[in-house]
Amino acid sequence: MSKHWLQEPEWSWNHPVENQPTFVHHWVQQLKNIKQTPDMILYGAPISRSSISVSGASLYPSEFRRAWKGFATYNLDENVDLTDYLIADAGDVAMHMTDIPLSHQRIQDATTYLAKHYSSTTTCMIGGDHSTTACAVRGLKEAFLNETIGILQLDTHLDVRDPKELGPANGTPIRQLIDGNVVKGENIINIGLHGYFNAKPLIDYANLHNIQMVTLNQARKRGLINILQEALEQLSAKVDRIYVTVDMDVLDISVAPGVPASTPGGMTSVELFDSLLEIGKHPSVQHVDFVCLDPSKDSVVAETVKTGVYAWLQFVTGRVLQLK
Amino acid sequence: MSKHWLQEPEWSWNHPVENQPTFVHHWVQQLKNIKQTPDMILYGAPISRSSISVSGASLYPSEFRRAWKGFATYNLDENVDLTDYLIADAGDVAMHMTDIPLSHQRIQDATTYLAKHYSSTTTCMIGGDHSTTACAVRGLKEAFLNETIGILQLDTHLDVRDPKELGPANGTPIRQLIDGNVVKGENIINIGLHGYFNAKPLIDYANLHNIQMVTLNQARKRGLINILQEALEQLSAKVDRIYVTVDMDVLDISVAPGVPASTPGGMTSVELFDSLLEIGKHPSVQHVDFVCLDPSKDSVVAETVKTGVYAWLQFVTGRVLQLK
Amino acid sequence: MSKHWLQEPEWSWNHPVENQPTFVHHWVQQLKNIKQTPDMILYGAPISRSSISVSGASLYPSEFRRAWKGFATYNLDENVDLTDYLIADAGDVAMHMTDIPLSHQRIQDATTYLAKHYSSTTTCMIGGDHSTTACAVRGLKEAFLNETIGILQLDTHLDVRDPKELGPANGTPIRQLIDGNVVKGENIINIGLHGYFNAKPLIDYANLHNIQMVTLNQARKRGLINILQEALEQLSAKVDRIYVTVDMDVLDISVAPGVPASTPGGMTSVELFDSLLEIGKHPSVQHVDFVCLDPSKDSVVAETVKTGVYAWLQFVTGRVLQLK
Amino acid sequence: MSKHWLQEPEWSWNHPVENQPTFVHHWVQQLKNIKQTPDMILYGAPISRSSISVSGASLYPSEFRRAWKGFATYNLDENVDLTDYLIADAGDVAMHMTDIPLSHQRIQDATTYLAKHYSSTTTCMIGGDHSTTACAVRGLKEAFLNETIGILQLDTHLDVRDPKELGPANGTPIRQLIDGNVVKGENIINIGLHGYFNAKPLIDYANLHNIQMVTLNQARKRGLINILQEALEQLSAKVDRIYVTVDMDVLDISVAPGVPASTPGGMTSVELFDSLLEIGKHPSVQHVDFVCLDPSKDSVVAETVKTGVYAWLQFVTGRVLQLK
Amino acid sequence: MSKHWLQEPEWSWNHPVENQPTFVHHWVQQLKNIKQTPDMILYGAPISRSSISVSGASLYPSEFRRAWKGFATYNLDENVDLTDYLIADAGDVAMHMTDIPLSHQRIQDATTYLAKHYSSTTTCMIGGDHSTTACAVRGLKEAFLNETIGILQLDTHLDVRDPKELGPANGTPIRQLIDGNVVKGENIINIGLHGYFNAKPLIDYANLHNIQMVTLNQARKRGLINILQEALEQLSAKVDRIYVTVDMDVLDISVAPGVPASTPGGMTSVELFDSLLEIGKHPSVQHVDFVCLDPSKDSVVAETVKTGVYAWLQFVTGRVLQLK
Amino acid sequence: MSKHWLQEPEWSWNHPVENQPTFVHHWVQQLKNIKQTPDMILYGAPISRSSISVSGASLYPSEFRRAWKGFATYNLDENVDLTDYLIADAGDVAMHMTDIPLSHQRIQDATTYLAKHYSSTTTCMIGGDHSTTACAVRGLKEAFLNETIGILQLDTHLDVRDPKELGPANGTPIRQLIDGNVVKGENIINIGLHGYFNAKPLIDYANLHNIQMVTLNQARKRGLINILQEALEQLSAKVDRIYVTVDMDVLDISVAPGVPASTPGGMTSVELFDSLLEIGKHPSVQHVDFVCLDPSKDSVVAETVKTGVYAWLQFVTGRVLQLK
């Protein structure tokens, strides 16, 4: 195995020779097969044994690619053809079967490798559980040592539980990054918190470290898009690059049964789609991940997986609009 | 079998002799049993083997009638008693087991028959997949040769794939009608398009033929009811009769798991209900269909079937209000 | 068994000795274990064989308590720590296996007992089907003979079917109370009615008895919170205490598959959560129940049960805010 | 309503005029429509609010009739054409919505009525939960006062819980009949008991009253058909008529997910089918019931309902063979 | 598209370069990639719009290949290593979206092509519904004009419904072949019939044409393996080549929820596995198909698909044993 | 936390004061509450993040205890009252959230602790995935250093994958024990292997180390009980104590959907129940575990969990019979 730990997925779509890529599965190409610098690199981080609750989020990268077939490469709402935007699939980081720290290190190394070799390319990591975000951000820090990183987090949870107690579990990534001096709390903005899903000591920690928290209620009252624009402006004024992490549990449980920690009262899918379009448009955003989606909990219609692909395409559409 | 191909459903509700029809299953009557001209005729077109993806929409007419029992004949929001409105159930068009063109011809013939014999009656076809709409509209054209027909389509898709390639599949009805000179593209308005569910060549076709496309985003920004009113006014100024086709895949996948092609980001059920009330109120609308609902994909609570019945009753309520 | 019929649940959470109660299952205490007067008393009324349709709502009190583990004792939207508010769990009313009138009498007796012994404490009954509401209100009337009781009902249905015909079924509680002179129709406000789910004769009954009906459509147009504030103000001007009954079938079927009578077009969970926060804030509200939630109809993610706990916590948050 | 409480089902199959009845739904006729004395009378007892655990067995009579469509009127294993055997459907006993004793009395009265008017006809009651068996047997006792009734029970449970404690619940019918001097314990044979599903005091009661218990293990070792033949011979030597009650929970949970009390280790469907063929052949058997099947717990393929129809048809095939 | 209509599947497993093929997905190779004559050729016939009831059997070829990953290339019961047996995957026959006769013709043509070019190779067709069997056998007849073909059919149904009435539906293949003089009724043996799933006129047709019918009951009494050996011996004495068709609805509904027409009382999976091992061993058997398995009806554990792969591997093991 | 790592479960059944323990949940007692030496000690090892495939087997100990309520303390087949047999529940081993080696060490330590303090008591570990077996056996070896341990394994798999490659995953426990010189291969007997679920290199390893393999086919031909008796006799002649490990994936997928690795062709539940009765009777068996049951994959009827409890009770019944 190569030292960057990225390996080909177990299966691939067979591309027709002559057709125009009118659907996503014929449009995205394997990184090894392209010669230009891609606009975006996708890579999977298929681990979920680091999840606190039982999770099959490790299955998402494969199901994410399978669901591409149902999506065209044209955004009708924005009248944007995506096919000129070059997306390369770098495959999945090779996970160890039981050694969680080793697997996490590989995600970090793979991210550093991609960031160094494709420094102007947008990266998109497909989790896996939320522990992968800490690895990816550490990997970027290693690649861009002198840069300040800010995080925009869409999440129902703060994810600042104590890694000293839990180890590098999916409830801890933000605290790992703060306690590890990788990202400052004041450079983190969490949008989507609501309800009764963060214990008091976690809120105290967040306040202590000046994490900015915008609850979903507040965002709805002031306009979710406004809030996002302000957040991105504020971060881009302070940091060198913005990492966006989308914990799919920010979605309401009725639209995201396939996310173990989704709750009632969360975002609608339309709110998430609008958010990602806006985020994709912002030039300071260079990295995104989508985590915690467990395809095995979906019903036979694969509703959450489809929502995950749609959300990602909204980000891509934003990127295309930003380039214009 | 009679030459209009309409046959009694396999089962019927047993009507109590003395009771007032306070519920739908006691209110709708068999066409053969009534003597006055009905206000509305229902008929089923139970075919879905013409569907591109696997679909049990052929089962919907029967399940639609079964679900009536859960609905009262009174609209509480509008304070309207529906029972004076006379609805006749003409049964289902007899489908051949494997001969798709023959089955389609029968739907066309049955529609012509009903249109000629009950020319002032609103018709409501319960699909079946969306291929049935092409049959019904051709049948109406045959009945009203000198009239111009306009179509208002609520749909996530354009349904203008090429019948030369696919045959008369459920992705093709609108193109069948345009290419067959039955309806002009400029007399078709599609409301509900969104996301990544129409390939570029289809959008090109729609533009070439001047199909009016209002995306769901646009409709929400400008007000869905406003958009509908404008669309109906515009059509009624140009055409002699308006055919409304409701592809239930216009609904969001979270409220319509029982529609094979429903997607995230679609209409809410309340948006659909409001739309059908508005549509029902318009005097130029004389024909409606509801297609692509596959009851076998519903969970045990039959959520999509109930939504389908509710949507139809909103149209009926609109009709009653229009008569007043 | 004691004469108030309240008995310990079949199982209990084991409380850690030293920890702060940062989660609900460690916060709520058994009534028998506390010495102060609690702020709220919870009790279960686990009966659903009085339900017209098949219902497992009798299973809800146990599942309600099981789901506590997923909820923190801090409301992030309002920045309110709930742990100072003292909630006592009085257990469940002992139900007879087949004698419905006897079971109903016990619910009434248990309610009277609690109301007399904890007259300043908010009571919260967890049903059970909606027949339990009639018992609880009769029990309160017995405890507060000289007081006038008003009812705020969140419900898709009027629940005024005739007990002479059906017996004390879950479709009849409001009519039981009116016909039994326990509550006057003019002191009942129903918010959440919509669609085709109340037969004409029931609406006639409601009008005859001056039940105030606000449909969901009307509430949305005028603002649901405004409507609630007006309703509570109006009731508090007329009655001595307000009983709030939340039939969970007021929720849309897409967010409440675990309620046998939920329908398309109902409340969103956010609307319900906002409502219960508002209701909890009002000082005249002293009693609440949550009924008709059947956990056995939920999918494996227990979406409706989680929604039920969240709704209850919103009411609790309202209570805490009202105390401040 | 007539005093025998039997009423037409809510819906009926529409019979084709000319066809031979090659399928069950065209073969069984409404009792009111036939003039000869039928060979068998079917009637439904749609109650399950008397069930200890939550049960939708009240829905079975309707679903049983719906599933007929999938079954031909020819038994291929025995090469027997069933169509000469005349089966009349007497409809369902009208149940009260909440008055369990009244509903039970009506089942008893309906059974008496049928037994008196069609004394030579085999009766087949479709439950409902197992409480209905006590009603039916009491009804037969009333019709045939001077006769001794024996019971062959296929069941995982003894169903001798104490009605003094539970009322007439579905765990009590056999004890109701013994304590009420309707059937003697020594004239009851239970086949199918196994595992850990009968508490010690119930086994003590059964032994005290000389109920014969043959566990499934014993039956398998000695041959289930042998055991059945011996049981029927023994009973027919002692009693005037044999009532067979089939609690569908005798089936293994893997083949009967739609029976709330089915367990691992129960009968296979083939064992049940062989048993009912054998039982049907015996001339002393004149009454049978099938109880405790809850269609709402089946998956979308309706496996338990289909098994229930098949089991009933095996009994019918036995009857036809017995007549030859 | 080539004139034999075989095309690469939409996706492929990525084969590791160095590893031994210890699992099926690394063992089976694409036909285009191998140079020797394969021992077996697989091809998919993904059509199910010719099915009488709604069926997604068209999805099976793809899911069949996906499930390979869970199966090793070693049969532990027989201690047989399968890896020396060369299996080539020829891909799927290209289906038209709505033209059923054209699709059927292509299956026939593809079969003829394979039979002519690989005349000594065992062919294995993966359906699709049972209509595909008629196509395949006609294709073989065209390739081997002077040979007599016999059919061994494992099926709950005779599949001799009248194509004049239904067209070439999945209930008709055997009759198509008899009426079309492709196979004589006396050269067809059906094993697995049972219950009430074949109407009288079909049994009359089978008897008229001397189809040999062995019910599952008879087979169990005389030994299923004995029956199979006799059947294969009898056929091999009369015909030049034996075609085996396995309608997966021969399985019991409890082990095959993913087959639309499976019934209670059918084969256990072990009976099917033993049968296919025996069949595979017989040298006169040169063609097999597996039809009517609808993966979309499986639960999340994919039980029927796994059973389908296992059954196929048993046939392969038989082949390997026969070669030794 | 104590150094043996055993902690009280999160919840407990509330025991009635006066009743006889006629059901399991009132019979099993907390270890801390009893003074005599118990006959059996239960303890949970709730870990499944060491599972190769996604598994929720960590949830089983809690669900196992919840399902007790449905089981009586009397075995009807053997007429054995279990209540004199004293079972103590020692709670669950405290698992770390992400540190798999630490969690495994704690299971080992807890087992050593129990074995040393209750050396004559039968221990029963409830997994968790199969990696826990290696921990438990190592723990016993530590407690009984001079004793030879033999293993009887009921399993579809050999579980001898290489821990050097996978770490201590659930596919490796037997190899961990052999390579670690804890148990000799010749003292291990695996019963239940079948099909295509063990790759060739694993079979080679097993043969090299003289693991005795009895396939399910062989066991059925020679009599499963005979095979078990021979195996136990053979082991008891060679070793000092026998550890029995029951990987629930030995069951057929149709009866065990709640085991991630269950397959078609596996044991029936009756075969498993008979086996555990026989195993329980043998005096040399002193330790048993039940692993790999994932309750979250069960349907709403909890079929696999019920099967797991039943299997455990069969072992207990065997113990009671052995004592007599």
pLDDT of D32-91, one tens digit each?
999 999 999 999 999 999 999 999 999 999 999 999 999 999 999 999 999 999 999 999
What are the extents of the domains in chain A? 2-323
Structure pTM?
A: 0.97
Is C157 known as a binding-site position? yes
Residue from the list A54, A56, A169 with its beta carbon closest to the beta carbon of F98: A169
Q: What is the pLDDT of residue A2?
A: 66
Measure in Å the smallest separation between the Cα of C229 and chain A Cα atoms: 19
Partners of chain D (3+ Cβ pairs below 8 A):
B, C, E, F
ipTM summary value? 0.96
**DSSP secondary structure of D41-57:** EEEEE---TT-SS---G
Looking at residue F263, what is its pLDDT? 97
User: Is D249 a known ligand-binding residue?
Assistant: yes
Calculate the alpha carbon distances from C4 to C36, C113, C114, C117, D27 in Å: 20, 6, 8, 11, 56
Question: Could you tell me which residue, B58 or E2, shows the higher pLDDT?
Answer: B58
CA distances from D278 to D126, D177, D222, D283 (A): 19, 25, 16, 11
- At C150, list the tokens: 């008003």
Binning pLDDT at 50, 70 and 90, where does residue E3 land?
A: confident
Instruction: Read off the pLDDT of residues E39-68 as tens digits, 9 standing for 90 and up.
Output: 999 999 999 999 999 999 999 999 999 999
**Res. D1: pLDDT tops 60:** no
pLDDT tops 80 at residue E1: no
The verdict on a CB contact (< 8 Å) between C12 and F10 is: no
Q: How many CB pairs under 8 A join D and E?
A: 77
With cut-offs at 50, 70 and 90, classify the pLDDT of residue E20: confident
CA quadruple F247, F253, F258, F259: dihedral positive or negative?
positive
Please tell me the distance from the alpha carbon of residue C151 to that of residue C279, in angstroms, as a whole number: 12
pLDDT at F137 over 70: yes
User: Within chain D, where are the H helices?
Assistant: 24-27, 60-67, 100-117, 131-143, 163-166, 173-179, 200-208, 216-222, 224-238, 269-281, 303-323
Strand C188-193 to C80-81 pairing: unpaired
Q: Taking residues E21-42, report their average pLDDT.
A: 95
Can you give the pLDDT at residue D289? 98
- β-bridge pairing D80-81 and C74-75: unpaired
Task: Tokens for F214, please give them.
Answer: 């009895």
DSSP tally for chain F: helices H, then strands E: 11, 13
C196, B24: Cβ pair inside 8 Å? yes
Q: What is the mean pLDDT of chain F?
A: 96
Q: Is B130 annotated as contributing to ligand binding?
A: yes
Measure the CA angle with vertex E232, ends E227 and E234; round to 5°.
95
Domain at D2-323: CATH code? 3.40.800.10
Residue of chain D nearest B300, judged by CA positions? D296
Q: Each residue of F150-193: pLDDT tens digit?
A: 999 999 999 999 999 999 999 999 999 999 999 999 999 999 99
Give the nearest partner residue to D14 out of B10, B69, B296, using CB atoms: B10
Neighbours of F20 (CB within 10 A): 13
Tens-binned pLDDT, residue by residue, of chain C (324 aa): 567 899 999 999 998 765 678 999 999 999 999 999 999 999 999 999 999 999 999 999 999 999 999 999 999 999 999 999 999 999 999 999 999 999 999 999 999 999 999 999 999 999 999 999 999 999 999 999 999 999 999 999 999 999 999 999 999 999 999 999 999 999 999 999 999 999 999 999 999 999 999 999 999 999 999 999 999 999 999 999 999 999 999 999 999 999 999 999 999 999 999 999 999 999 999 999 999 999 999 998 999 999 999 999 999 999 999 988
Give yes or no for E16 touching D (CB within 8 A). Answer: no
The answer, for F262 touching chain D at a CB cutoff of 8 Å, is: no
State the burial class of residue D120 (Cβ atoms within 10 Å of its Cβ: 0-12, 13-18, 19+): exposed
Min Cα–Cα distance to chain A from B311, Å: 21
Predicted confidence (pLDDT) per residue in F79-99, tens digit: 999 999 999 999 999 999 999
Å between F296 CA and nearest CA of chain A: 9
As separate numbers, helices (DSSP H) first and strands (DSSP E) second, chain C gives: 11, 13
- Banded pLDDT at E18 (limits 50, 70, 90): low
Residue D89: beta bridge partners?
D30, D42
Cis before D128 (ω within 30): yes
> Is B247 labelled a binding residue?
yes
Average pLDDT, chain B: 96
Question: What is the per-residue pLDDT for B4?
Answer: 85
Q: Do B98 and E168 touch (CB under 8 A)?
A: yes
Over residues B99-137, the pLDDT tens digits come to 999 999 999 999 999 999 999 999 999 999 999 999 999
Dihedral angle, C-alpha E5, E6, E12, E13, nearest 10 °: 170
pLDDT at B1 over 70: no
Q: What is the pLDDT of residues E220-247, one digit of tens each?
A: 999 999 999 999 999 999 999 999 999 9
Burial of A252 from C-beta contacts in 10 A (0-12 / 13-18 / 19+): buried
Chain B residue with CA closest to C216: the answer is: B77
Max CA separation in chain D (angstroms): 59
Residue type, B81: D
**C269 to chain B: which residues are within 8 Å by CB?**
none
Stretches where chain A sits below pLDDT 50 are: none
